[in-house]
Each structure stands twice: as structure tokens, then as C-alpha cells.
Structure 1
Amino acid sequence: MTAPVRTEDSQGDRGSRETRGSQELIRAEEPVLAHNYHPLPVVVARAEGTWVEDVEGRRYLDMLAGYSALNFGHRHPALIEAAHRQLDRLTLTSRAFHNDRLAEFAERLAALTGMDMVLPMNTGAEAVESGVKVARKWAYDVKGVPADRATIVVAADNFHGRTTTIVSFSTDETARAGFGPFTPGFRVVPYNDLAAMEAAVDETTAAVLIEPIQGEAGVIIPDDGYLAGVRELTRRKGCLFIADEIQSGLGRTGRTLAVEHEPVVPDVLLLGKALGGGIVPVSAVVGRRDVLGVLHPGEHGSTFGGNPLAAAVGTAVVELLETGEFQRRAAELGVILRAGLTGLVGKGVVGFRSRGLWAGVDIDPALGTGREISERLMREGVLAKDTHGSTIRLAPPLTITAEELAGALAALEKALG
């Protein structure tokens, strides 16, 4: 695994690195930043493609890609160019006025996903919150559920965000403890259990909301037929199927959407992370016209949602996905990733789950926690992150090369040795 030769470096950047090293910068954060994260002890100063560089000039292969927000790598030239062009013209109007970038973004995103309408937002959590609101409004206006009685069925071990409503239906006590009282109206069933889901759905159910692949839980992939079963159940029971593709979507699994691994079309898709190209926060609720059409002026909004800069970058992201190149790369390189991890089973890896360029790798607990293995990988020049216990997540940019991927797998083997 060879890092690219750095072709530019200003004296100012170098002087800044020499003046304030990693440890000094890390210590400087302690008294002023809320302690809601426990990052690895690396201070990133710049990045290009699949590589990042810390303040002291050390290079690392990024095998996390911002939890899929950097599907196209750091500073993809087409995305940076789109952002620069828009920065010179217009950045924000609010939705009080039309802007000349939003319609194209919405049209092309709808076409890419096979949907009718787009509700632009900013963060993934906002997309989920918006999807919840839309589902409830649909239940009251279209399905005829009595006021304030709509329910939404979700899966255990989900991760949909960290707002108070979203953690209300989390089963992760770290995310929930100390943040009640919780929002009612949600029913939690085991993931990958159609019988349990069917038992939970009744005449009050507005929607079933699930991740096609559970990312934070450790890249948990359901059995073949599960997603199709959810689709059939929701149609039969007269409720919506909402697929949270914020992490799994936009090329990560080898398809544009993870639900495409089965012949499934949800009623609503939640998108985010990679939609902003690693440049600005962009998310969207994308769905059928008869579903998103329940919203009327004044019922929902966002000052920054659909802003011209976000729309310009989002359009450039859609253009990249329209070629199919990144979906193919994820599928082809995913074969290499899977083969490499298979070779490590019994050599420190006790199991793994992967689809495309996304894997949850279970490490023998006797060798260390996921955090400890991530720190060892960091010392080998690879950045990854633990999720639960001794599980680490691998989600490199879709621009990674076969050579770089092989190098990351070799580094993992060394870290386990």
C-alpha cells in the first residue's frame, strides 16, 4: 500500500504543523468541545481521494469515508468544481424564493431513484424526522387513522439518528439513557423477523421504517427475501414502507440503493451523507407523489434545505451516480474485500458481514476491543472505527483502488497479529 506523493504544500501549512502538533491540538479540544465523541488520536489537516494527512504530515488510508458521507473520496474534482462554481454565484436564498439550482437537483434525484417527488433537507436525522412527519400526515389524511393515534414500526438495533424523537425508538441505551421522556407512537420488533413485524402492524400503522442494512449495528444484512417480505406486508396491510438509505444508499453496496438487491421499491426513501459529496450536508426524503403530496405550505420547512450550494453539489453527486461507475466499482472491489476478510477468518477475525464496499468485521475479543484494533490499524496507516464491542466497520471511499484495498487488508492482518 503506497501513499500518493504530495504535490503541493505551502510553507504556511508546514509551519502550522510544526507549531502545533497532534497532541497539543487534542489537548486544546478538551476544555472547549463537548465530550460527545471519543475520536481516534489523529488530527487530520488535509485530504485527497482515499488518503488523509495529519498535522505532522503522516498519511493514512481512509477506510471509514465519513460513515459513507465520502463515498466519492475526499475533494472529488467534479464535486469541488461544482461547489466552487456555485460559491461564485449564489449560496442561500431560503425557500422563501425559488432558486435556479433546486429544480434540476430534484428532477435528477427523483429520476435516479425512480420516485416522483423530493423533499430536500440537510442532515440524515432531519430526513428521518421529516419521513416520520410525512408518514403520520399520510396516515391521518389518506389512510384515515384517528388523530394522534398513528404508529410506526421499527426494528431493534436500529440507528436512524440522535434527535429526541429518533432515540425514542432506539434500543441502544447509550443513545437513550438520560434523554427522556420519550416520544410515543413507535413499536420496536426484532430485525429480520417478518412474523414479529406482521404482529406489530395494525390499523393504526402509518409506516414500517427500517434500514435495508443496519450500519451502526455492525453492517447487519437481512436474510434474502426479508425486504421483499416487508414490501408485501406493507402493501397488504395498507401502510408505507420507508427505507432509510442514509448510510447504505448511493453506491455503497454495489447498487444505487441497497433495496435494489431485491426486487423492492419502497414508498419513501431517506437519503443523506453521500448526497452532499463530503462538502456540505445534504439530505432528502424521496417518495411517491401521493405520499409527499400530503405536505402543504407552512406544514414543514427548513431554512437551509434545498439551498443553491447544496443543490449544485447534490446534482453533481447524482451525475456521478448516473454513470453507474461507482456502483460497479463497489460491486467489483467488494469481491476483493470479501475474499480478503474470508482469508482472515480464524486469524483473529471470527466473522464478518459485507456487501459491496461495506463490512462489519467481528474480531476475536481475546485480541482486543474494536477500539483497540482501530488504534492498531491507525499505527499501520489505516483509519477505521469500531462500532460495538469487538466489531469494526470498513467503508472506504468507492474510489479506492484494488492495490489500496489489498494494503488495508494486509494492515488489518498485521494489526491482528
Structure 2
Amino acid sequence: MPVFAHVDINNCYVSCERLFRPELEGRVIVVLSNNDGCVIARSNEAKALGIKMADAEFMVRENLKAHDAVIFSSNYPLYADMSARLMNNLSRYTYTLMVYSIDEAFMALGNIAGLDLDQHTAAISNNVMHDTGLPITVGVGPTLSLAKLANKAAKKLRKQYLVLDTDAKIADTIKNFPIEDVWGVGHQYYHKLTEHGIKTADDFRNLKADFVRQEMTVQGWRLHQELWGKPCNVIKDVAERSKGIESSQSFNTYQTELAPIEEAIAMHAATVAIKLRQQQSMATQLTIYLRTNKHNVKHDQHYPSITVKVPFAANTTHQLTKVAVQAIRAIWQPGYNYLKTGLRATGIIPAGEVQYNLFAGYDHKREQKLSGLLDEINDRYGRGTLRLAADSFDRKWAMKQEFLSKQYTTKWQDIIVTR
């Protein structure tokens, strides 16, 4: 029988902050989104106060102040670096690792005869904590869906791990497991299932497969089969390229002029280009968009977007920035208070499958060498050390981060010094 594990970091962003400030253990902690707008991570102490995900900061401000809470702005460089350390550590325990998000991954544990899964899973949890300082929860099961379910069940039981390696354990765990917490059951499916009286994972599993396929398409049928311990989903070595790559960010204040918006979209183009090169892919089209604040009814609203084809599939900063800046000029209009801009690359193909035009003047080798040099310098001296002129160093429009912690692992000046 195949065995899979699902691993995620407990309260990821909070755990990363506490790792470098252990005196915060036991304190109420929240991490805020871009521009310190809303809550995106909470310590268990904050959860106990009733603070919910996506609560606006101004709505919970007094509650946080009353309980002497510690507030952090999102420190994505720190979180990404700690995530990479976790994934590198997990790779020692599997022949196939799929990074699912910044704080979670799936692992194939194989079918090793005589392996004590409880002992092996406990070793993974303890060793990761020892090697990275990050507390994790591990769920193990014969399918990806059951592994994910085991992880959630372990958290509810306040356990480090939970292994579902027998039919009896699976049946006992899913008996009262809420259907809305099952991986793959979204808002639409949840309402459809509750209309049929389906409240638990066990209720769903006991439905007839033909009914599930008819009401929930093939994805629902796969989930149904997986809850019976029949693998239908597979671990992939790399993320699906077809989903696209996006970079976006809100401004720290309303932008009415074109120049700072051009700088912002140039930054997003550079970010997407780096991600494309890292996964050895190229994009054939870009979608560029602008957003006003839909919550401010006093302002006129404008949500323009444009999708343009890249002349040649590209992953170089120069090419993507050129296309993005031209596109933003086409959709920007004066008189609006813009709050956000972003860029999404789609039509993604492997870098080795690009078809070039013999009669075009595009120097592919030169562009690749320039991007390679750009990456080499930025890897050595820090991201953003060398950038295009369109991406200004003076980012007055950059997001507000009043509670930003130090970048302990990615900036020399922020490294902790012991005496």
C-alpha cells in the first residue's frame, strides 16, 4: 500500500517570528497583510481571543492593545527562507516531495516493509524541530486526501502527528470529521452537500460513487475514492506550470500619476521573470491590471486589465518589463485613485520548447546572458542590488510595513549577534 505524508508549519508566520524572539512564547501575536491591512496569521493565544483570519486591523486594534499583543508586518523574505529550510530538511525523508505552499508539502513515504510509521513520523517531526526550530504537524495516510485530513485531525487533537494506516483508524477519524474541512470541498460543494444532508467526511464517503460523479464531477469522484484509501491524485515533482505566476501589491497610498505605477509594474515584471527562470519556464502572455479601492464609495471606480502576447516566449527581466510597462500605459487613465497593480504570466512552457523566428531581430542568447548576470549579482549581494532603471530604488509607493521585523536570515546587518 502506498503511503503519503502531509506536513505543514503550525501558525507559520507566527512561528517564524517567534523563532528569533523566543521571549514572545505565550504572547498574543498577529501578522498583518500587505499595507498592514488585515490579519493573516495568529498565534493560538490570538485565536483564543476570537481574532479571525482576514479581520481588519482597525477592527481588532483595541482588543489587541488590551491584551498587550505583538503585531508584525508580513516579512516575506524571512518566511520564504525558513520555508526553503523546511523543504530541504523534509527532502531527506522522501524520494518525492511536492511543495504545496509556503508552509506545507506532500511527501511520498513509499511502501517499506517493516517500517514503523508512527516511529518514523515522530522522528520527522522531532528532527525538523531540532534542525529548523519550526513546529510542524504531520498527517500520514494511503492517499493525499487522507494524509491532509490526518494532518487537520492531528491539530484538532493537539498532536504532533497522526498516522492513518488501517481501515479502523481511517473510519474512526472521518466519522465526525466536518465535511467543510475536507481538502477539495469548497464553498460551492459544501452547500450542495449540506443540501443532501452530508455533514461529515463519513457521510460523504458513504455516498454512491455514481452520485458523486454526477453531482461533483470527476474531482469529487476522485476525492470520494481517496477517502476509501484508493489513490487518484499523484505527487508532482514541480508545480503545475499551467496555473501561471503572479506578482501584485497594494500601494501605501493612492496613486494618481503614471510614473510610480510604471515603477511598480516593472518591479512585478522582474519578480515574475525571476520565478520563471527558477523553474526553467517561459511565458507567452502577460495580464496586467490596475485596481481602485472598491471599499471607498467616495471615489470613482476603475478596474482595467489587458492581456498581451509576448512577442517571443520569454523569462528575461528586460523583455517582460518592456511588455508590462507598455501595457500599463495603455490601461492607465488620469483622474482615478489607484490602490493596487499586478501582473500575471500565463501560457507558460518549458524553456527548452521555445520556437524562435528566423527573421526577427531578437537576440535570445544575449538576453539570457544578461539575465544570468543579473541573477548572479543579486544572489551574491542581495535581491534588488542590480535592477532595471524602470524599477526605481526610491519606491515611495511601496507598501506600508510599520511593524516589520528584521530579516534575520537574508540581510547581513540583521543577523543575530551573540556575545
Q: Considering fraction of residues, name the structure with more strand.
A: 2
Larger RCO (CA within 8 A; separation ≥ 6): 1
Compute the TM-score of the two structures, normalised by the length of structure 2.
0.25
Rg larger for = 2
